[in-house]
Amino acid sequence: MLKKRIIVCLDVKDGRTTKGVKFQNNIDIGDPVEMAAEYYRQGVDELVFYDIIASTRGRGPILELISRVAERVFIPFCVGGGIGSLEDIRSTILAGAEKISLNSQAVKNPELIREGARVFGNQCIVLGMDAKKDDSAPSGYRVYINGGRVKTELDALEWAKKAVSLGAGEIVLNSMDADGMKTGYEIDLTRMIAENVSVPVIASGGGGKSEHLARVLSEGKADAALVASMVHSGEYTVGRIKSELAQSHIPVRL
């Protein structure tokens, strides 16, 4: 049976790790390079870095930070934020990232998914999607961009399917309603996307305790769970999460 992955997410703003609730009231919580090294020591499977203001400010990826992280951790890590061209993808991979997350830029220019997958391979291209409940959308969820600030016309399920058809090799699915709340992942949303695409789906938004991860990895059919608040706060280590998941019969790398 395929092991389920635990992924720690670091939201980066002006070179520092930051954390908010539902994309609001972000506070500085530390140095992303040191934090990445600590989570690597704790046994995390992968890391994700999002530059949460790059798209809004219209600038490219944070290459210097990426190369400093690559010197300290020897697991796959993904970088998102401000990646708007093939050249941005190339420079981010050359700086040390294994995967690229396209979110706002993919919505604005879907061909970037196709071109990125063609040149660098599907396994490098991750669709980042921020979805929020919306009864007017066919699936009940709508896509937002620019760090959750801008509502789009895209239905979450339709966009997930389209992105995969263009070449996205993985989807990080963030529930905006659950983001930072630590009350559990959005199971219905995660299951709906996971059952309708042929690529791994990573659940994001709402992780507060190990039971939340166990639920989304089993009932929600997610291939991986992204955590932030629960480890940044020091309440949990990656090792504790994995050991509790193993006790719940969730297959993880110990």
- Helix axis angle for 238-247 and 32-42, nearest 10°, is 40
Structure token digits, residue 178: 């659950």
Q: Could you tell me which residues come within 8 angstroms of residue 137 by beta carbon, excluding any fewer than 6 positions away?
A: 155, 156
The backbone torsions φ and ψ at residue 183, rounded to the nearest 5 degrees and listed phi first, read: -110, 10
Catalytic residue (one of 51, 130, 155, 179): 130
Q: Rounded distance, CA 89 to CA 79, Å?
A: 10
Nearest to 6 by CA among 204, 233, 194: 204
SS3 133: strand
Annotated catalytic residue 11: yes
Catalytic residue (one of 11, 45, 51, 88): 11
Q: Which residues are catalytic?
A: 11, 130
